[in-house]
Amino acid sequence: MKLGADNETLAENKVLILYLMSIIQKPITNDGLYRLVLSIQDMNYFYFQQFLVDLLENKYIVSFDKEGVEVYEITDNGKNTLTLTLDMLPGIVKLKVDKTVKGELIEIQNESAVRAEFIPLSENQFIVKCKIIENNVKIFEIETLASSRDQAIRIVKNWEQNARRNLPENDRNA
C-alpha cells in the first residue's frame, strides 16, 4: 500500500483501526494496536503512525499516559464515526478481525503483564521498579536499589525473564 493510494483505501485503514479499538474496549499501547492491525492486514509502520496522527487530530481517538505508558482509546466521536463508516470495511476483513482479535489481544496483554524499568538517582544509584499488570491494573509492584547500571540492567532482565514463569497458570494464559 502506498500513502498515495486512493482515498478509499486510506479511509478503510482508518476505519479498521477504529473498528479494532471499538472491539477491545480498553486502552491499548501503540505497539499493541500495531500488532493487532498486522494480524489482520499488512500495513507499513509509518503509514500506521500517520493514520494514528490523523485519528488523533480529528479527535476520533485520544492518547494519554497510563502508569508511564502512552495508550490510545477510541472516543465517542470515533464510535459515532465508525457507525457511519463501518460499511467501508469489507466483510472478509470484519470476519478476520472477529476471529483473530481475541487471541492476539490475550497474547499482547500477557506480554505486557510483566514490566520492569530503572531510574538513575545518581551515577552509582538506581531505583529498579518491577511490576505485574493485569487487565491494565497494577496488581504488584516492588522497588529496589541497585548500586550500578549493570546491576540495574541485570535485575530488569531477571524480572522480565522469570516473573512470568512464576505467575499462576491461569494468569499466564488469560
Pairing of strands 137-146, 125-134: antiparallel
pLDDT score of 109: 62
Of residues 157 and 105, the one with the higher pLDDT is 157
Domain boundaries, the chain: 7-111, 114-167
d(CA 102, CA 108): 10
Task: Please give the average per-residue pLDDT across 85-105, as a whole number.
Answer: 82
> Which stretches does DSSP call E strand in the chain?
28-29, 61-66, 69-74, 114-122, 125-134, 137-146
CATH of 7-111, one of 1.10.10.10, 3.40.930.10, 3.40.50.720, 3.40.1190.10: 1.10.10.10
d(CA 120, CA 126): 4
The overall pTM is greater than 0.75: no
pLDDT at 51 over 50: yes
pLDDT score of 91: 87
pLDDT at 1 over 50: no
Range name among 29-38, 40-49, 147-156, 162-171 with the lowest pLDDT average: 162-171
Q: Is 63 exposed, middle or buried (0-12, 13-18, 19+ CB in 10 A)?
A: middle
d(CA 141, CA 69): 15
